[in-house]
Amino acid sequence: MSKLKITSFVTLTTLFGYICFTPKLTVALLSAVVGTLLLAAGASVINHIQEYKIDALMTRTKNRPIPSGKITVTSAGIISVILIAFGSLILLSIGLVPLILGLLNIFWYNIIYTPLKKISPIAIIPGSMVGAIPPAIGWTSAGGYLFDPQILVISFFFFIWQIPHFWLLLLFLGKEYEQAGYPTLTKLFDIKQLSRITFVWITATVVASLLIPFFGIVKNHLVYFILLFAGVWLTWNASKFLIDRDQKMNFTFAFREINLFALIVMLIITFDQILFLF
């Protein structure tokens, strides 16, 4: 129920936000990572409770703990409360701002995005705020100011990245979402339009990544060229959307590649921050 793949990435972006402010290992770093992980896991459990009836209608999700009867809604609720309580206490030990941001992310994911995606297929755009907040938790946990331009551009990158990430996921899982009664993107756009829009969002993600060095985060000029090379690679691969081929296969590959691109951006900048210490 913790959706470990998703919560692990949320934790990773929190770690990244922390390292962008300072790569020094401290107790606050461990607290930020563990606290965010627990809150993200708690939010995921709440999401299971919110969607267990819909999960039962989809092949991909019908065997999840609640719809399969392995755990009751009440038990899941208790688990979510425990996870969020411990996560909140840990973040509060660092400061009030990281805690507020952590709770804001739960609110945005469970109260704003989850109900909204039952109404509109473009709920992924406001829902992408959940990708922008974790780096700010890490940054403020390290002692950074929430409205520093550096963390704003980092959060902006993850906000933009989250849109094609969600978008592509919904595209190649569209049949199941239709089966469960969700509004889908294919009802708004035809396949050519979807391909072009996806290409635009992926290109926007590349542009957002190239903005990061201009805000004083990157120390080594070589990083500029590596980011540019990675951006050209992703844009070139995304250009396949503009050619009539097997679009479902393109969507699948693009989903993997855009996630890999986000990891590359984080790794490059993290190494730059660590090497700057020596």
Cα–Cα distance between 155 and 58 in angstroms, integer? 33
Q: What is the CATH number of the domain that holds 70?
A: 1.10.357.140
> What string of pLDDT tens digits covers the 278 residues of the chain?
888 888 898 999 999 999 999 888 889 999 999 999 999 999 999 999 998 888 887 777 788 889 888 999 999 999 999 999 999 999 999 999 999 999 999 999 999 999 998 888 888 889 899 999 999 999 999 999 999 999 999 999 999 999 888 878 777 776 777 777 777 777 777 777 877 888 899 999 999 999 999 998 888 888 889 999 999 999 988 887 777 555 555 677 778 889 999 999 999 999 988 876 65
Residue 71 burial (CB < 10 Å; 0-12/13-18/19+)? Answer: middle
- Single-letter residue type at 178: E
Residue 66 structural domain: 4-275
Contact (Cβ atoms closer than 8 angstroms) between residue 97 and residue 52: no
Q: What is the CA radius of gyration of the chain?
A: 19
Contact (Cβ atoms closer than 8 angstroms) between residue 268 and residue 227: yes
Total domains present in the chain: 1
Going from the C-alpha of 247 to that of each of 161, 168, 240, the distances in angstroms are: 20, 11, 9
* Helices marked H in 22-128: 27-55, 73-94, 96-106, 114-116, 124-127
Contact (Cβ atoms closer than 8 angstroms) between residue 135 and residue 20: yes
Cα–Cα distance between 58 and 194 in angstroms, integer? 23
**For the whole model, what pTM was predicted?**
0.91
